[in-house]
Amino acid sequence: MALEHAILVSLRERSATGYDLARRFDASIGHFWSATHQQIYKVLARMEQAGWVDVAHTENGGRRGKKTYSITSSGLAELTRWVHEPSTREAVRSDFTVKLRAGLDFDAIRADTETRLADHREQLAAYETSEKKFYPDPTNLTANEIGSWLALRGGLSREKHGIAWCEEILANLPHSNGETQ
């Protein structure tokens, strides 16, 4: 139910094509909501029907024109309504933890954990760079910036937790030859 709302948040920052949105979902917004371009196009069509977004067509001779979407007042009203709903608990689905819990091949888990640890470190470094670049003085933010900064802080915290957990796993996992039953 929330891809719509993530798109509205993004369009409120700047109008965009479906393609632009897909790129944003690969980068900034993707840090807390993931979506593919196929899903985005489907949802945009639905949102247009609902009147939450307007479309500006750019005809360019060729067959298919570019479509630039922007948020309408009705879209903003919907976003505001939704922000007032208490948020649902996120469903936890971690296949990594299922694998860990299986206790079936600690060498495979170890390798997997090392990959994840490297990922987390890379992501943490990217967030730290973003924070320095966009929020060098967090004591002095506009109302608009605070939400984005706190979202970024959540990402930083999440990666740090992920790193600490991976390190704990690596420190405690015994070595094995395949099955450990």
Partner DNA sequence: TTCAGCATGTAATATGTTACATGATTAG
Partner DNA sequence: CTAATCATGTAACATATTACATGCTGAA
Residues engaged in binding DNA (CB under 7 A):
1-3, 17-20, 22-23, 34-39, 41-45, 60-64, 66-68, 91, 93
> Could you tell which of DNA, its own copies, none binds residue 136, using a CB distance below 5 to 8 A set by kind?
none
Nearer to its own copies, 32 or 134 (CB): 32
| Cα–Cα distance, 10 to 52 (Å, whole number) | 13
141: burial class by Cβ within 10 Å (0-12, 13-18, 19+)?
middle
Nearer to DNA, 38 or 74 (CB): 38
**56: nearest Cα among 21, 18, 26:** 18
56 binds, among DNA, its own copies, none (CB under 5 to 8 A by kind): none
Contact positions with its own copies (CB under 8 A) in 16-35: 29-34
* CB-nearer residue toward its own copies: 125 or 150: 150
Cα separation of 169 and 171, whole Å? Answer: 5
Q: Does 173 bind its own copies (CB under 8 A)?
A: yes
165 contributes a contact to its own copies by CB under 8 A: yes
Consecutive H or E run containing 28: none
Least Å distance, CB 167 to DNA, is 28
Phi, psi dihedral angles at 67 (to 5 degrees): -120, 120
Residue 140 has what DSSP assignment?
Answer: S
* Residue 53 touching its own copies (CB under 8 A): no
Distances (CA, A) of 34 to 91, 110, 180: 15, 27, 36
Could you tell which of DNA, its own copies, none binds residue 42, using a CB distance below 5 to 8 A set by kind?
DNA
